[in-house]
Amino acid sequence: MSNIKTSVEELIGNTPLLELVNYEKKNDLKARILLKIESVNALGSLKDRIAVAMIDAYERDTDIKPGDTIVESSSGNTAIALAAIARKRGYRFLNVTGELTKERESLLRAYGAELIYVSETPEIAAGFSLLNDNYKFHDFLRDYFDKKSKEDGRRYFINPQWVNKANREIQYSTTGQENLVI
Note the pLDDT tens digit of each residue in 95-128: 998 889 999 999 999 999 999 998 888 888 777 7
**Any domain includes 17:** no
Q: From CA 151, how far away is CA 147, in angstroms rounded?
A: 7
Look up 47 and say whether it is catalytic: yes
pLDDT mean over 142-150: 93
**Any domain includes 85:** yes
**Any domain includes 101:** yes
**Any domain includes 91:** yes
**Following DSSP, what letter does each residue of 52-68 receive, concatenated?**
HHHHHHHHHHS---TT-
Model confidence at 131, pLDDT cuts 50, 70, 90, reads: low
Q: What is the pLDDT of residue 53?
A: 93
Query: Phi first, then psi: what are they for 108, rounded to 5°?
Result: -60, -45
Catalytic residue among 5, 25, 30, 47: 47
Total domains present in the chain: 1
What CATH code is carried by the domain that includes residue 77?
3.40.50.1100
Model confidence pTM above 0.75: yes
pLDDT mean over 149-164: 88
**Any domain includes 22:** no
**Any domain includes 137:** yes
Structure confidence by residue, pLDDT tens digits, 42-83: 999 989 999 999 999 999 999 999 999 999 988 889 999 999
* 182 pLDDT more than 60: no
**Any domain includes 30:** no
**3-state SS class at 135:** helix
- Domain range holding 110? 47-167
Among 35, 18, 148, 34, residue whose Cα is nearest residue 96: 148
**Any domain includes 174:** no
Q: From CA 119, how far away is CA 6, in angstroms rounded?
A: 39
